[in-house]
């Protein structure tokens, strides 16, 4: 799949503002700073489509981007230490309505390839099973590891999250590693969705 178009559409903070669209939605989720915005920029071939940040947290918004054949939704990051219980609750409620009401054909669940998945990462996967949202795992920042370390880490992450080895794709927004694999996964999710219509 080639991305010819990628434009920011809107940011929303509540369920009543969720984007109404006929296009299939690809969502991107993961803890703050894992590389969601960078991955979106990589897929779009654009440096600054999604804002990347050095200081994690803050954004409690869902950002939608029009990628032509699909809409991409950048979900607010989780696992940010300085967030109050109240805010965490709000985030959980927003996520649950998003997963239950939006037509998500695929959610890319991002984890940092260098770190073991956190309790929050596992909770996210549980939500996905609960709401029957198809997902694929992306292990980000693969450029931070030596080439020979990538496969063993993928295996560890897959085992930890109880998914198959092939369900975890290593990627690097720095080098473009994994980009074609991710685009292939997206393309497949969209074509499977169109069969169901
Ligand atoms: N080395 C490396 N750094 C990355 C990669 N992806 C993201 N980063 C850096 O990690 C930080 C957080 O990235 P960002 O995309 O804003 O994460 P988000 O909070 O999940 O949207 C930024 O400093 C990025 O430059 C990657 O693949 N490789
Ligand atoms: Mg971001």
Q: Which domain holds residue 97?
A: 7-192
Inside any domain, residue 136: yes
Nearest CA-CA partner of 107 in 10, 14, 24: 24
**Which of 46, 50, 52, 140 maximizes ligand 1 atoms within 8 Å of its Cβ, making it the mutation to test the pocket?**
52
Inside any domain, residue 119: yes
More confident position, 61 or 59 = 61
pTM of this structure: 0.95
- β-pairing, 135-140 vs 168-170, is parallel
Residue 109's CATH number: 3.40.50.300
Phi and psi (nearest 5°) for 160? -60, -40
61 touches ligand 1 (CB under 6 Å): no
Show Cβ contacts of residue 14 under 8 Å, excluding neighbours closer than 6 positions: 94
Number of domains in the chain: 1
* Ligand with an atom nearest the CA of residue 36: 1
Q: What is the mean pLDDT of residues 8-26?
A: 95
Inside any domain, residue 83: yes
pLDDT over threshold 60, residue 58: no
Inside any domain, residue 29: yes
Phi and psi (nearest 5°) for 174? -75, -45
Inside any domain, residue 2: no
Inside any domain, residue 197: no
Per-residue pLDDT tens for 67-115? Answer: 999 999 999 988 776 778 888 888 889 999 999 999 999 999 999 999 9
Inside any domain, residue 36: yes
Inside any domain, residue 96: yes
Q: What is the mean pLDDT of residues 164-182?
A: 97
Per-residue pLDDT tens for 105-162? Answer: 999 999 999 999 999 999 999 999 999 999 999 999 999 999 999 999 999 999 999 9
């Amino acid at each position: 799949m080639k991305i010819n178009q990628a434009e920011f559409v809107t940011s929303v903070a509540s369920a009543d503002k969720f984007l109404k669209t006929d296009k299939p939605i690809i969502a991107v989720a993961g803890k703050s700073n894992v590389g969601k915005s960078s991955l979106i920029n990589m897929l779009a071939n654009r440096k600054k489509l999604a804002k990347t940040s050095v200081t994690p947290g803050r954004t409690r918004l869902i950002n939608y981007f029009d990628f032509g054949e699909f809409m991409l939704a950048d979900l607010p990051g989780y696992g940010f230490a300085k967030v109050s219980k109240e805010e965490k609750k709000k985030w959980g409620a927003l996520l649950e309505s998003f997963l239950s009401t939006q037509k998500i054909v695929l959610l890319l669940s991002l984890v940092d390839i260098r770190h073991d998945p956190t309790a929050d990462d596992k909770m996210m996967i549980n939500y996905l099973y609960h709401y029957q949202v198809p997902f694929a795992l992306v292990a980000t920042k693969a450029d931070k590891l030596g080439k020979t370390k990538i496969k063993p880490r993928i295996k560890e992450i897959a085992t930890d999250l109880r998914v198959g080895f092939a369900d975890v794709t290593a990627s690097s927004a720095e080098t473009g590693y994994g980009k074609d694999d991710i685009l292939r996964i997206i393309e497949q999710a969209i074509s499977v969705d169109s069969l169901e219509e």
